[in-house]
Structure 1
Amino acid sequence: MEGSKVKEDWKVGSTSETMETTMDYSNYYIYELPSPCSKGGVRDFGKLFLPPLYSLVFLFGLLGNLMVVLVLLKYKRLKSMTDVYLFNLAISDLLFVFSLPFWIYYVADQWVFGTAFCKIVSYMYLVGFYSGIFFIMLMSVDRYLAIVHAIFALRARTLTYGVITSLAIWSVAILASLPALLFSTSYTENNNTYCKENYPGNSTTWKVLSSLEINILGLLIPLGIMLFCYTMIIKTLHRCKNDKKNKAVKMIFVVMIVFLVFWIPYNIVLFLEILVELEVLQDCTFGMQLDYALQATETLAFIHCCLNPVIYFFLGEKFRKYIKQLFKTCRGPFRLCRHCSFLQVYVSETPSSSHTQSTMDHEIHDAL
């Protein structure tokens, strides 16, 4: 897997193996150290703190994104490009979340699910990881078209184009995640069973390339596109006289700040891991601190999948209205299936079709 399981050092490497001898440690992490550099403390820390944290991420990520899917299917009916992107983002987060129970057990004990599940879960995790980032990027482009090119957006932001671009995003995510499916394997060493990539040939080169892939595809490209889109959106909103402008700008900053806060630390640590793999950094104390940092920043990145429903839905007036309507219809989790008619058509506001300021108002309200 790439990254956090995307970067196997966190799951089984330097953060999950207790190096009892200089030779064991040097074979995996740093070569020719003058004294043993035990990573037992890092592993114990992970066993103690990561399972409860990941369990909370799993619980809130599952409930939040299922709520998003429910609202979209019951009320929105996937009738626009934005609806399609939001739905796919929720599916991406759910795919990511469904892999967490396996990693929870893994960090608490060891891998007991065999090689086949090692490949499947690693692949599922990484596809969810990439597709989630890509759909956040795609939603930024959707907002850019809706606000900066409002008239053109009436033709471009269609359900058909939404489906086509979504399929393209899933294709890229599936292809980018193939190394996890091909190279992930389960093996036993020092009475512990691990699940990680077993690269052919020069494993250091593969590890470096994997980390670079995460940094480039998972941060640099999406971040560059998002910065461009939101910069143009802010410029456009400042030029137009619109009562919703301040609220829209605040929402934009929330999206950007949350993305930066939750993902940049993780990618910085991954970059430092590259330097360790290339033996540019060979300090034992720094290596251990980096392992702790990788655990912390990866957990922070995991939390982002729980926040997507909040960012893209719960801050919106329409979604709050849908949620209230949903709970009026479904007055308890045990009566959900009996009372919720998924074939019920929810009558929403009819969007304006004029190419005037009212079009801009509508686009800002829906897109943000």
Structure 2
Amino acid sequence: MRKHVFLRILHALSEWSPYFCQRFDAFGKPGHSPHQKCTAAMRLLAYGCPADSLDENLRIVASTAIEVLTKFAKGVRKNFGEEYLRRPTNEDTRHLFHVAENRGFPGMSGSIDCMHWEWERCPTAWKEQFTRGDIGASTIMLEVVASLDLWIWHAYFGVVGSNNDINVLNQSTLFTQLLQGRAPKVEFTVNENVYKKGYYLAEGIYPKWATLMKTIPLPQCEKDKRFAQHQESARKDVERAFGVLQRRFAIIRNPARLWDRSALADIMYACVILHNMIVEDERDDYQVRYDLDYDEGSDPVPLTGYGHGPIQEFARVLQTDTEIRDRTMHRRLKDDLVEHIWQKFGANDA
């Protein structure tokens, strides 16, 4: 990350906790400076190196380095989580839908998938619970939703590694705001049919819900082949996000060496937050997020505000949950998208 981003984090942590301020012992001898502590934490996150490797150049012993890392991760999550782990706002949704429309997927909010983080220090009594046969090691799972610019809009971490993506989806908070009536209300048209719930691109293991759009396995006709090509191409956004996240922070590419699951959660969420901060900083213009001709005066997606207030009554929640899991709506939307993509990208080639 650039220097000003690092200094922003340092300033926020210094105000958040005295631990990241310059302190002196009883003899007036200064301890580690805030710059030393934040640099040590960032080196551990970025390089995934052992804690005792910092003693030579930063003069921080292993026990202190681990303490700095855990406090740094907790501080980043506390101070920046609300902004950089937020769900899409009305303006965010407009941009996401505008980009999705240009890619042939009106109403698409991103791509969803899961990754495993190996847990080297998993207690022996828990190893079977955290181990899946095809992985062969104890892992903890992360579910994310990512967009074209690699911004991670949803992150849910902590499910044991013996589960699959469907189990994680059933436990995650992905549709919580939608169930509570607090999500931005959207309306878009595909093939002259109106839909009022956005959707995410997903791989084959995910269920056929109205809010998830999968590819067509073994497509036979040209329309299905064209749809599968575009769906699989657009869904790679989340795979790219995983790759960039692991390249930036080697600590989550290597096996986790801590015992505490809550500390691992703080580290994972801190990496996601820092990733989003870097993505934001590297954009030429944050307000116009994508290099597309976006007209601020146009509004291709009618949006209303958040439904603030108490959670909807239980019957309404059950009705919304039924609509989310509607397989008939899933098939209808897929048929409309197949026709829409064919008219937009494939009809002229034919």
TM-score when scaled to structure 2?
0.28
Greater share of helix residues, 1 or 2?
Answer: 1
